[in-house]
Structure 1
Amino acid sequence: MPSQEEILKAKILVVDDSPDNVDLMLEILRDAGYTSVTATLRPEQVCPLHREHCYDLILLDLQMPELNGFQVMKGLKEIEQGGYLPVLALTAQPSFKIAALEAGARDFISKPFDLLEVHKRIHNMLEVRLLYKELAQYSKQQQELALHDPLTGLPNRRLLEDRIATSLQHAQRNRGKAAVMYLDLDGFKAINDTYGHAYGDEILKMVAKRLVGSSRKEDTVARIGGDEFVIVLGALSGLGDAREPASKLVEIVSEPYFINDLSLTLSTSIGISIYPDDADNVEALISMADSALYEAKRAGKNRFCCTPPGGAPLRPAHLASAAPHAA
């Protein structure tokens, strides 16, 4: 539940065409300890102001010239896509109370103001509004956790499969190609066994950062478990467009990793599958890239391999032939 301090810091907007009514409400609110209160006499300003400040409560007079409270609420509904309209209607007309609730207001205050009623209704509504925001934020965080790897922050397999499907749709629409690159770290187990999982986790985070930094913004870099990563490349004209990025990744992963006083080295093996040449669906593309990865491992690691008939495993010419090691 929101604390009293959080409630008193909530952002409140008072909307009334009467300066006297505005002054009275501002005085009531400030005397009660609310510290973030603003007001406007112009109802047409409410929606732009709410877009900018995202108020926790809008005290809205229903009877105003040119643009009345009901019209203002209609505009606010377009902003509050979540469905919770933070409006507390102010009205001297008993018949307007039910109409205000039907229009989306969460509650109402009758004019002339009863001080005890004003305090209670404002406090109660702010408590609900802030709790609603907390739950919405928690739901968003849970969704992020469900779609991202908690260690690296990269998309996980669930989100990866969705991203691949989207890339395939774009490729099909544009009569282009897409690539799935399946990466596995050579020598990672030895680092984990020798230096411990804390060092292994740091390596994984550093590798993730290098992979993202070496990829295009439109590409997807995902971690699907352990020391396995997948990169999705879209808008390709053919296999040749995937070879250069793969070669670059082999190079960048093999550069030393400095953790505390240690300099650690490892490498990567990569398997590549191409849509639609190798497969035309998500599962098959991942499986074929995994098979190509196995061929790269079998051929000596520290290289990339394309699915047949893409050719034999390839290794960037500038890399030494010595096996990767931990120093």
Structure 2
Amino acid sequence: MVYLDEHVSNMITEADIHSAKILIVDDQESNIQVLEGVLGAANYTSVSSTMDPYQVYDLHRQNHYDLILLDLKMAGMDGFQVLEALKNIEADSYLSVLVVTANPDYKLRALQSGAKDFISKPFDMAEVLARVHNLLEVRLLHQRARTYAKTQEFMALHDPLTGLANRRLLVERVSQAIIHAKRNSSIMAVMYLDLDGFRQINNTLGHEVGDLLLKLVAARLVAAVRQEDTVARLGGDEFVIAMPHVTNVNGVTLAAEKIIKTMSRPYTIQGHNINLTASAGIGLYPENGKDVKTLLKNADAALLDAKQANKNTYRISERAYS
């Protein structure tokens, strides 16, 4: 039995079930016509069919059907071979196949091969509809549950406003970068950054404009850094950039200059032209810290130095790791 979050269960409606994608696979046209008629009369609106079992793999890879009604006895390629091929597509998902057979001896083997249920020939129409409905509901529940789980996982690691990494993910990334730098006797950097005068913008233009500004800042930061860098928001207007695989300090200073220049370009939000600058503090591994906590602490202290130096600039930490 599958136990799912109540929120996920409530997401499945009869409309979802009746609009789900169904594929009928049978080498007898008369059987296809019967099943199409039954499903059409029950208001299933997305029903396809094929008489060629060799097409099933490619069709499912392209369309990801929610249910496949599969005849087991077909010329050339039987249903068991089709089931085996489909496993390659749905290896980590719920393979929703309802097999059709006139031979009761095939039922157990079909279930062992990955089918989820079976219907017998000649068809009992009420049974066909009941089993189709049940399998589709389970399939859709699995899909929603996976999507919901992925969403929850993303939210646990990312800032809900900007979509950037949050503190938890930042710590993981910096830890990994430190391990790599230690192993290769190289350096890595973290850059603490905040916006000069952001509080005044919130106070004068409102938090809605402030939130939109933070989203624009986040987008600019992501565009200004390398693909391997991690941009995180720790809250308010505090951002941190983790920079692994740094060749030398010059590369870090050039990146800081580029980022500060990028942040100082005017913003236009809801008819308001907003001008502001950014300040940054940089911590280098191993000089300013050999662990995440120390490195971030010293980068934050360097940010304060930049603020005290009339803002709109950066400072590299001068604090030793100890």
Q: Confirm or deny a common fold (TM above 0.5).
A: yes
Look up the match of 1:104: 114
Look up the match of 1:88: 98
Contact 2:298 2:319 survives alignment (8 Å): no
Look up the match of 1:240: 250
Partner-residue secondary structure (3-state), 1:190: helix
Distance 1:89 1:284 in 2: 61
Look up the match of 2:4: none
Find the partner of 2:167 among 134, 153, 157.
157
Structure 1 residues 176 and 8: CA distance shift in structure 2, 3 A? same
Is 1:284 the counterpart of 2:294? The answer is yes
% identical aligned pairs: 49
Q: How large is the RMSD of aligned CA atoms in angstroms?
A: 2.2
Residue pairs, 1:21-60, within 5 angstroms? 21-60=31-70
Distance 2:218 2:153 in 1: 21
Partner-residue secondary structure (3-state), 1:14: strand
Contact 1:77 1:83 survives alignment (8 Å): no
Q: Deviations 1:156-187 (Å, cap 9, x if unpaired)? A: 11222223234345545665432211111121
Residue pairs, 1:258-297, within 5 angstroms? 258-297=268-307
Distance 1:143 1:158 in 2: 12
Find the partner of 1:64 among 52, 61, 74.
74
Distance 1:309 1:223 in 2: 24
Residue pairs, 1:172-321, within 5 angstroms? 176-308=186-318
Bigger shift: residues 38-47 or 122-131: 38-47
Q: CA deviation at 1:306?
A: 1.0
Distance 1:49 1:280 in 2: 53
Look up the match of 1:324: none
Distance 1:55 1:170 in 2: 43
Distance 1:95 1:21 in 2: 20
TM-score by length of 1: 0.86
Partner-residue secondary structure (3-state), 1:17: coil
Structure 1 residues 3 and 98: CA distance shift in structure 2, 3 A? same
Partner-residue secondary structure (3-state), 1:88: strand
Distance 1:280 1:38 in 2: 60
Contact 2:229 2:241 survives alignment (8 Å): yes
Q: Deviations 1:267-298 (Å, cap 9, x if unpaired)? A: 21111122344334333322222222122223
* Matched letter for residue 84 of structure 2: K
Distance 1:152 1:263 in 2: 21
Gaps of 5+ in 1: 311-327
Structure 1 residues 262 and 24: CA distance shift in structure 2, 3 A? closer
Partner-residue secondary structure (3-state), 1:213: helix
Look up the match of 1:19: 29
Q: CA deviation at 1:125?
A: 1.4
Distance 2:251 2:21 in 1: 52
Q: CA deviation at 1:194?
A: 2.7
Gaps of 5+ in 2: 1-9
TM-score by length of 2: 0.87
Bigger shift: residues 183-192 or 213-222: 213-222
Structure 1 residues 277 and 76: CA distance shift in structure 2, 3 A? farther
